[in-house]
């Protein structure tokens, strides 16, 4: 599938950035979706181009349907879509119980983490499904081990949003399996990225590393390697499956 386009939402930092670089190194054309950090997205594109790869950056807040439509329109002009990596997501302030959560927080969480992912998948299916004249492809949804653990007293709304992603991954995989599209999920564990800072606990991953059977946090590159494997032909018989990349946690 190399030389086809891979759309990566939240592609300017962390797992998204690592995935963009890893996929580009294997010959894919990369569309780096980013919500606000233009400089970081441009840096990813420059890094890919410096290695003779091809990439573009497209502003896209996945909480906006119009932004999603614009993202895929830009991808259409860049080549044939081969894969979508639904990586963009948000996390609220950590340590907030359900009885302290606002409706606004919950609605924003679901709009970005769930609705945004589903709408991106909708656009990808329209382009990749053989039912619509496409050549097939792959969708990889980023979940979290929080979907299994529930994240009590931390952010159960985030955990719930990722539980929804697990269900969506399984169901969509069944729905489009006969149309040349594979759908898989990744559940990262404690990974060294800045998402923990967004939740108000920049040291969270390292503070909890002792709870991981492997006794360390994971890296964005380790998640990216799993994602790139899933979108490759090496994973050609994998669909409606969710892979834990969590050090055993």
Q: Which residue among 28, 155, 158, 237 is the active-site one?
A: 158
Of the candidates 176, 155, 163, 146, the residue with the CA atom closest to the CA atom of residue 249: 146
3-state helix/strand/coil string of the chain: CCCCEEEECCCCCHHHHHHHHHHHHCCCEEEEEECCCHHHHHHHHHHHHHCCCCEEEEECCCCCHHHHHHHHHHHHCCCCEEEEEECCCCCCCCCCCHHHCCHHHHHHHHHHHHHHHHHHHHHHHHHHCHHHCCCCEEEEEECCCHHHHCCCCCCHHHHHHHHHHHHHHHHHHHHHHHHCEEEEEEEECCECCCHHHHCCCCCHHHHCHHHCCCCCCECHHHHHHHHHHHHCHHHCCCCCEEEEECCCC
- Per-residue buried b or exposed e for 15-28, using 16+ beta carbons within 10 Å of the residue's own CB: bbbbbbbbbbeeeb
Catalytic site residue 158?
yes
Query: CB of 12 within 8 A of CB of 57?
Result: yes
Longest dimension (CA), the chain: 52
| Residues annotated as part of the active site | 158
């Amino acid at each position: 599938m190399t030389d086809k386009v891979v759309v990566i939402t939240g592609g300017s930092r962390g797992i998204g950035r690592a995935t963009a670089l890893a996929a580009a190194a294997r010959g894919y054309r990369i569309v780096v979706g980013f919500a606000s950090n233009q400089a970081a997205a441009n840096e990813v594109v420059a890094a890919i181009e410096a290695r003779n790869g091809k990439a573009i950056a497209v502003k896209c807040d996945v909480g906006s349907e119009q932004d999603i439509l614009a993202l895929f329109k830009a991808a259409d002009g860049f080549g044939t879509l081969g894969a979508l990596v639904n990586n963009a997501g948000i996390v609220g302030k950590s340590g907030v119980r359900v009885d302290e959560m606002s409706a606004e927080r919950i609605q924003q969480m679901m709009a970005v983490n769930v609705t945004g992912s589903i709408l991106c998948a909708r656009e990808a299916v329209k382009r990749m499904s053989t039912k619509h004249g496409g050549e097939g492809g792959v969708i990889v949804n980023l979940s979290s081990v929080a979907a299994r653990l529930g994240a009590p007293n931390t952010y159960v709304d985030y955990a719930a949003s990722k539980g929804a992603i697990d269900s969506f991954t399984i169901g969509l995989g069944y729905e489009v399996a006969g149309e040349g599209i594979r759908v898989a999920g990744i559940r990262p564990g404690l990974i060294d990225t800045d998402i923990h800072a967004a939740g108000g606990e920049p040291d969270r991953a390292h503070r909890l590393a002792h709870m991981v059977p492997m006794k360390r946090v994971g890296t964005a590159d380790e998640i990216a390697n799993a994602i790139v494997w899933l979108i490759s032909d090496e994973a050609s018989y994998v669909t409606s499956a969710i892979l834990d990349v969590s050090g055993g946690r």
